[in-house]
Amino acid sequence: MSFRFVDFPLGRDDLQSDVLAGLTASPKSIPPKYFYDEQGCRLFELICAQPEYALTRTERALMESRLPEIAAAIGAVDCIVEPGAGDCGKVRLLIEALHPRGLVVLDIAGRALAEAAESLSRDVPGLAVTALGMDFIHDLEAAAPCLAEGRRLVYYPGSSIGNFAPDEAATLLARFHRLAGADGQLLIGFDLKKDPVTLHRAYNDAAGITAAFNLNLLERLNRELGADFDPARFRHYAYYNPVQGRIEMHLVSLAGQTVTVSGQRFHFALGETLHTENSYKYRRDEFSAIAEGAGWRPAGEWEERGFAIHLYRQGDTRSPH
């Protein structure tokens, strides 16, 4: 077994300055990455098990049922890199199918990542596992020296790409392109455009788990920034915006109220929104256009019940980003 953990303390999120900046802006907003404290991670796992939220289950089923085809399209790979790997649960299937020599997993929750990655390295003898505790949005390039030479596959499942605006997604895919290097490939999962009512339900589950996930952000700010939000005075409000092609999640103020965060006061008018997340949905052609604009060349696509997995290879390096 070979395992190492490297922690990158630089470039970490600054909850306080991001939140104060977001509350000062108009409309008010907070970046969705701050959902994921311990309770937020637990609630997200529960979301994935809700009958209305098929995304995670569908991707898993697609990977399981088409794995031989996907693996054949990828071919030989020396090293898999997974940004935002979390509990390293998704990459196991690919490791079994591709038998790479190396795995590099990246996640901002460094300690949880290290535990999961070490356990994976115990289960797969001969696999050299490197866990990098980092916010890859800031520090992705710092991962390059940790990657083994040879054919690299960047794996980015779960439709996490949907939480970036299309221009930000293009920039991130271009950075993956540079990280993958010559002969590099990208395997990426994303949620497809579908019946808006189905999308609406997925973010408004009957058990109220997505609402609790959204409102937990206020609890986190109360705990970590000494804020005094009353979650009962905000309503989870999520809807599909077909013009933008995205789910928007908001916390709408149910009253005129003033909230104190890190000693600063912010006024919410009745009905004013705190925008907490966008989750973009794409058609296949829309997504391919973004990936191709970032220098990737289409090499395979698989689709099931409104979810897609695309494989890309290094194209001509005309990436503008």
Q: Is 268 helix (H, G, I), strand (E, B) or coil?
A: strand
Distance in angstroms (rounded) separating the CA atoms of residues 268 and 274: 9
Q: Please answer whether residues 289 and 175 qualify as being in contact, where contact means their C-beta atoms are separated by less than 8 angstroms.
A: no
Position 163 contacts ligand AVI (CB under 6 A): yes
CB of 237 to ligand AVI, least distance (A): 12
Nearer to ligand AVI, 47 or 153 (CB): 47
Length of the chain: 321
Please tell me the distance from the alpha carbon of residue 178 to that of residue 317, in angstroms, as a whole number: 9
Question: Minimum distance from CB of 54 to ligand AVI (Å)?
Answer: 11
Here the tokens at position 207 are: 């058990």
* 62 vs 79 by CB, closer to ligand AVI: 62
Q: Which is nearer to ligand AVI, 203 or 312 (CB)?
A: 203
Q: Kindly indicate which of the ranges 118-126, 135-143, 155-163, 294-302 contains the residues binding ligand AVI, using the contact rule CB under 6 A.
A: 155-163
Give, as one character, the DSSP assignment of residue 32.
Answer: G
How far apart, in whole angstroms, are the C-alpha atoms of residue 193 and residue 296?
Answer: 22
> What is the amino acid identity at position 33?
K
Tell me the per-residue interface mask from 193 to 212 with ligand AVI, x by CB under 6 A, - otherwise.
----------x------x--
CA dist., res. 273 & res. 235, Å (int): 9
Q: CA 161 to CA 42: how far, in whole Å?
A: 21
Identify which range of 96-104, 158-166, 175-183, 218-226 contacts ligand AVI by CB under 6 A. Answer: 158-166
CB of 162 to ligand AVI, least distance (A): 5
Among 42, 61, 66, 160, binds ligand AVI (CB under 6 A): 160
Question: What residues are paired with 250 via a beta bridge?
Answer: 237, 275
Question: By CB under 6 A, is residue 279 in contact with ligand AVI?
Answer: yes
Whether cis (ω within 30° of 0) applies to the bond prior to 27 is yes
Assigned token pair, 261: 């965060």
Measured from the CB atom, is 83 or 184 closer to ligand AVI? Answer: 83
Binding of residue 162 to ligand AVI (CB under 6 A): yes
Q: Which is nearer to ligand AVI, 82 or 130 (CB)?
A: 82
26 Cβ contact list (under 8 Å, min separation 6)? none
Q: Any idea what DSSP says for residue 35?
A: G
Footprint (CB under 6 A) of ligand AVI, residues 54-73: 55
134-142, 154-162, 225-233, 284-292 -> range binding ligand AVI (CB under 6 A):
154-162
Position 158 contacts ligand AVI (CB under 6 A): yes
State the residues that interact with ligand AVI by CB under 6 A.
47, 55, 158-160, 162-163, 203, 210, 277, 279
